[in-house]
Each structure stands twice: as C-alpha cells, then as structure tokens.
Amino acid sequence: MFRNPSNTDAVPPRAPRPTQRGATQLTLAEPGDESELAAPWVGALVKLGTRLARSAGQPHGRKLVVAVTTPTRDFAAALIGAGWSLAAKPPSLDPPLETLRSISHGTGVCAVNDKYVVSGRFASLDEAHSPPLAIFAGKTWAVDRIRALCVVQSAQDARQSERPEPGSLAQLAGLTDSWDDRLVSPPKSLAIVGTRTWLEQDLAALIRKEGDNLPPSSLSSLVLPDTDIDATWGTRLYSAASFAEQLPLPDGIEGVLLDGNSAAQYWDEIDASVIICVIDRSVADETAAQSLERLRATRGEPVSATDELGWTPPLGVEVMAFTAAR
C-alpha cells in the first residue's frame, strides 16, 4: 500500500523466515478457544508498542507518526496497545494504611485485594479494630488484606471488578511485583480510536509465551481499557464515528492509536507525541495511506523503523515512520 518504502521499512514478499533458535514467540487465542495461534507478528506488534512508548519524548513541537499496514486490522491495535502498557514505569505508592490515614471523607480511592479491584468514595477508617477496617465504595474492607490503594482524582459511583492475575506475558515482562500497584494506578498515557465493539473483542484475546505453563494474560488486563463497569482503567477508548467531538484530548495522553482506515483519517488533527495508524489492506479505501504519504513527502522527516526505532516488521506488515510538526 505504501509506495516506494525504504528497504529497512518494509518486508518484501518472500518465503517466511525461520524462527531464531531460542527466540521467544508469543501465542494468541480467543476466549473459550483451546487452540492457540503462534505467529511472529503477535510478538512483533507487542514489541512495536513497547518501542513507541519509549519514543514518546519527542523534541518540542514534533510528533512521531508511525503507520503500519496489515492484511487485516484484527488484534493489531490491541497488541500494540499491550506493548505500550508493558513499557510504563510502575507507580510509587504508599502502604494502604498510610494513605487511608491521610485522606478525608468523600475522597475517591481505588484498591485491590486478593479477589477484587474496587473504586469509590472513602468513608472512614477504624484503627481500634484489629486488623484496622476501612469503609469505602459502600463496603467494609480489612486493611491488612488490601494489596494496593491509591487516591483517584475523580470520585465516582462504587465499582467492583474481579482482580486479573498476572498471566504469562505479565510474568515475562517482569510486572509481577508491581502488578497490584499498576492495577489501581495504571498509566493513562494512551488512547485508542476505532470501532469500539471490535476493540473490546480484540482486547478479550489471551496471550502468552509459547510453551509456557503459566496461564495466559488477557490483553485487556494489560491495556485496562475504560469501560462503564470496571473499577480501574488506564487506556481511553474512543469511537471513530464520534471522535471529532472528543478533541482536543485530555492532558497526559502521549500516544494515540488509530485503529482502522476510518480512524486513521484523524492523524493530523491530534496533538500527541506519538501517533500510530493501523491501516487495513483488506479495505479498498486508501485515502488515509495516501494522505500520510503526502505529508511524509512534503513536510515530514523520515524515520527508519529498523535503525531508529529498533523494530523490524514481520512478514506481511509494512511500516512507514516520520516526524512532523505538532
């Protein structure tokens, strides 16, 4: 789809390359499906998200635009988003009891214990009881069972959702020790724009290291998309159909992932450090791809995905990267 890509930016049609001996390969499965797909593009797209998250600090007044074309959009944005989330530094939280001692009635909190993630308004702390008890989100909680707790800026109605376990990919990425802190205080630096129902289906997919005995991680447990029911969230999901009404985006968003051709048309209207466009080659409309090519040719400064971003696209995926004025 991209015309005249540089040799380092695209994979030409050829026989599949053998997997390097000892290389880690990731598998993907849909919920309820025992079969797992092991393919190089799964891990490659996760790696791309990680690389781009670490490239978020662009020079003042510039943004990095990365467009990838895929045979189909399925799972691409969800995998890139998971990689972005994996790269985030863990939050630094005080022990739950210290935080509870320091806050006042009505303060919004998010907490996690062995079973649940809970958010809502703080009511009271009873240290006369052993162990101390705290009332928040409309229920009483034993403080010694709380794994992590933090103050949230916008107090909301009480919400409770099951605590996801750190599965195979979280273990592989070294997130186990900071898992609970991440659940209650996730990074909020990424937004994903696309068809929301498709994104939610993709994020339900399960990912793990091939041959691992550990349970898989759901992509949603890594990305933590905002929903109407979950107690915690880290990534904003926007519908492409109404995205123009959401601009400008909230402060703190460093990366925006545009999933699909209809979402990719907004790339030049977004003020963010990193813009990632997933362009579906199964869709005949090439308007977004042509627009990106024009900007790269007229106002962009080309970036080599391989040499400067440290990422080589897998077979069947093309990439174009450049910086442009914000």
When the pLDDT of each residue in the chain is averaged and rounded to a whole number, the result is: 91
E-strand stretches of the chain: 26-29, 37-38, 62-70, 108-112, 116-126, 133-136, 139-142, 148-151, 159-162, 190-194, 206-209, 217-218, 235-239, 255-259, 274-280, 301-303, 318-325
**CATH number 3.40.50 given to 26-88+186-325:** yes
pLDDT of residue 288: 84
Q: 302 and 296 in contact (C-beta within 8 Å)?
A: yes
The residue ranking higher by pLDDT, 17 or 312, is: 312
Structure tokens at 52: 């781009």
Average pLDDT over residues 150-157: 85
Helix axes 76-86, 196-203, angle to 10 degrees: 60
The residue ranking higher by pLDDT, 153 or 104, is: 104
Question: Coil, strand or helix: which one is 124?
Answer: strand
How far is Cα 26 from Cα 207, in angstroms, rounded to an integer? 7
For 324, other C-beta atoms within 10 Å of its C-beta total 19
Average pLDDT over residues 130-156: 94
pLDDT of residue 168 exceeding 70: yes
Q: Which residue has the tokens 């880290």?
A: 234
For 46, other C-beta atoms within 10 Å of its C-beta total 26
Count Cβ atoms within 10 A of the Cβ of residue 74 and give its class: 0-12 exposed, 13-18 middle, 19 or more buried.
Answer: middle
pLDDT per position as a tens digit, 46-90: 999 999 999 988 777 899 999 999 999 999 999 999 999 999 999
The residue ranking higher by pLDDT, 14 or 80, is: 80
Confidence of residue 295 (pLDDT cuts 50, 70, 90): confident
- Residue from 316, 317, 293 nearest 65 by CA: 293
**What string of DSSP letters covers 18-39?**
PPPTT---EEEE-TT----EE-
pLDDT of residue 21 exceeding 80: no
Confidence of residue 155 (pLDDT cuts 50, 70, 90): low
How far is Cα 108 from Cα 118, in angstroms, rounded to an integer? 11
pLDDT of residue 176: 96
Angstrom distances, CA of residue 285 to CA of 1, 19, 321: 11, 34, 20
**Entry pTM:** 0.91
Q: Domains of the chain: which residue ranges? A: 26-88+186-325, 96-162
Average pLDDT over residues 233-259: 96
How far is Cα 289 from Cα 12, in angstroms, rounded to an integer? 18
How far is Cα 15 from Cα 273, in angstroms, rounded to an integer? 36
pLDDT of residue 233 exceeding 70: yes
pLDDT of residue 1: 56
Average pLDDT over residues 105-121: 97
Structure tokens at 87: 């790269």
Least confident of 12-21, 181-190, 194-203: 12-21
Share of the chain above pLDDT 70, in %: 93
pLDDT of residue 203 exceeding 90: yes
pLDDT of residue 22: 52
